[in-house]
Amino acid sequence: MRNTRATLSFFWKYTKRHPRDIFLACFVFIQYSMNVILIPLILGLGAAKIGNAQSTSLSFANILWLIAGAGVVAIICNRISNSAVDRLEVAAVKEIHADIAKHIVNESYEFHARSYSGALINQAGRLGSAYVTFIDTMYQSFGRFLMIMFISSAAIAVYDIGLALVMFTIAVLGAGSTIIMVRKRFPLQKISVAKYSEQTAHLADMITNAMTVKMFAAEKEELGSYQKKVVAAGDAVFVSWAKQINGNNVIIGMMALLNLSVMAYGIYGVQQGFLAPAVFITAQLYSVRLSGSFWDASSIVRALERVFADAHEMVAIMNTPHTLVDAPDAARLTVSKGALSLNNVTFHYNDTSKEDAVFTNFDLAIQPGEKVGLVGKSGGGKTTVTKLALRFMDIQGGAIEIDGQNIANVTQESLRQAIAYVPQEPLLFHRTIAENIAYGQPEAKKKDVERAAKLAQAHGFITSLPKAYDTEVGERGVKLSGGQKQRVAIARAILKDAPILVLDEATSALDSESEIAIQQALWELMQDRTALVIAHRLSTVQKMDRIVVIDDGKIIEQGTHKQLLAKKGQYAELWNHQSGGFLEA
């Protein structure tokens, strides 16, 4: 029930923004009045006229005019209400999708690290579809069901209260039993939706890593694993549908009970003389419509059941506050010098304990304009330093400051605008090379994009492509080699022209000749900037002002290249395992 209330509240938040369309959509009830109430009454009068010319003062012509008039009113109201609902759905779904994108893009690094992108996309699409289904169900089916159930009984009550009570009682019992039966399926429906999400996520993961699958010739294994997900999802759907069959049997029984009860009461009433034949005929028409509405009740509940099952995952995400947010009084970061310091920092991931902290009382101070290299064995915490500096995650103790400003007290936008970051695995958008390079400076001119590409040693391979800078790189840059992607990422950082530069193995996928050329370009870029460079190739940091060796979340030594070699510690050991910064064969 909590999920249902949350979904209803979420839908109402977007629906209430369009009061004019809500008002016009209510014209559908006039249409239902014509179709559900007035026309059966008129037909009953017509039947009475045929049976007894004196039974009604209305002529056949008047009856036909009433039917035609009711039809015209119904058509006009239907047109007005349908147009309003269409506008409402289109507008609300646009708002929902925009808010989903805003919410997800502002989620934390840890959220994205534990989420399947394919599942998120699927859940977002299902939420929009669920909203449309919900509005259509409430507008088309639920309103008609209420009109038939309540107003039909009220109309008959004018002529015979006993017959109306028979109809209403059985209708309530039928609707109630239908709702109970269908609600029992909700947990099963929820399971089937979850299984389908797993299936979709697995497919997206398999497609994203298609080249890895091919490299390991693992097509059969992947397809077998995916087939298991498909079977599990199919089995869950089958179990849910099997439960539905039992519900259908109840509906058929209630339909038969209603029609037989009304017929028996009506025949008895006519024979005893307390029920007019016209009322009996009208009641029978209502009975047929009312019994048919049991199917509507079943369809309504099934549709709503599917709506809530489809919507609850993304609604839960949308209703969960972001864990990493700007402070209420956050100011924009102002970088005048570029000093970066981690002061007494304690950090552990949210899914680990304090005993497994990456850093405990960690200190690192980088002076304005200083070029610092971070080296050490894998898993020591080097990349975590960069993620904390960018505030991808919040620390549990201490402070991280830029020019004396605690990054927890400045806006995330201004913080990341002040840092040019080249990750170890460059991620590119499925857009043109020019758009990817200019991502940090969208208004950059073509000559500036080309200049950055030349400095990153990327201009040559770009111009050799058929569409040059207008070449689309494919999803995640799949059309480019690893080295080409790194050059584009470096060009992007060069063009961004931020006061602080962070490089995380930025040249690891380059050949030696390109690396030497790019290192020179990067060195020029670092001038008058604060730079933090992570490297396994020690030649990358050989010229740094200071090299910091991190192991198991602690600084074990630091100094210049020559100083660290003289200490004959871990850095010297790493250097000795390399020749000129490259691993020996």
> In whole angstroms, what is the distance from residue 567 CA to residue 193 CA?
61
> In whole angstroms, what is the distance from residue 245 CA to residue 184 CA?
12
Domain ranges of the chain: 2-319, 333-412+532-585
**Residue 53: band (very low, low, confident or very high) from pLDDT cuts 50, 70, 90:** very low
Which CATH entry fits the domain spanning 2-319: 3.30.565.10, 1.20.1560.10, 3.40.605.10, 3.30.360.10?
Answer: 1.20.1560.10
**What is the per-residue DSSP string for 257-290?**
HHHHHHHHHHHHHHHHTSS-HHHHHHHHHHHHHH
Residues paired with 555 in a beta bridge: 550
What is the pLDDT at residue 581? 44
What is the pLDDT at residue 348? 85
Rounded-to-5 percentages of helix, strand, coil across the chain: 65, 10, 25
> In whole angstroms, what is the distance from residue 251 CA to residue 178 CA?
7
Sheet holding 359-366, edge to edge: 359-366, 340-347, 397-402, 405-406
How many residues appear in the chain?
A: 585
- For the record, the structure tokens of 39 come out as 């026309």
Lowest pLDDT segment from 202-216, 319-333, 445-459 = 202-216
- Helix (H) / strand (E) containing 178: helix 161-183
> In whole angstroms, what is the distance from residue 373 CA to residue 526 CA?
12
Where do we find the tokens 């039992």? 246
Condensed to tens digits (0 to 9), the pLDDT of residues 152-165 reads 777 677 667 777 77
**Residue 117: band (very low, low, confident or very high) from pLDDT cuts 50, 70, 90:** confident
- For the record, the structure tokens of 515 come out as 């690396």
**What mean pLDDT, rounded, does the chain reach?**
78
What is the pLDDT at residue 358? 84
- For the record, the structure tokens of 581 come out as 């910064």
Nearest alpha carbon to residue 503 among 412, 385, 421, 405: 421
Phi, psi of 392 (to 5 degrees): -75, -25
Percent of the chain with pLDDT over 90: 4
Nearest alpha carbon to residue 204 among 79, 117, 264: 117
Condensed to tens digits (0 to 9), the pLDDT of residues 219-268 reads 777 788 878 888 887 777 666 666 666 666 666 777 777 777 777 877 87
Average of per-residue pLDDT across 537-559: 86
What is the pLDDT at residue 55? 46
> In whole angstroms, what is the distance from residue 83 CA to residue 9 CA?
24
Classify domain 333-412+532-585 at the CATH class level: alpha beta
Condensed to tens digits (0 to 9), the pLDDT of residues 316-353 reads 888 888 888 888 888 999 988 889 999 998 988 877 76
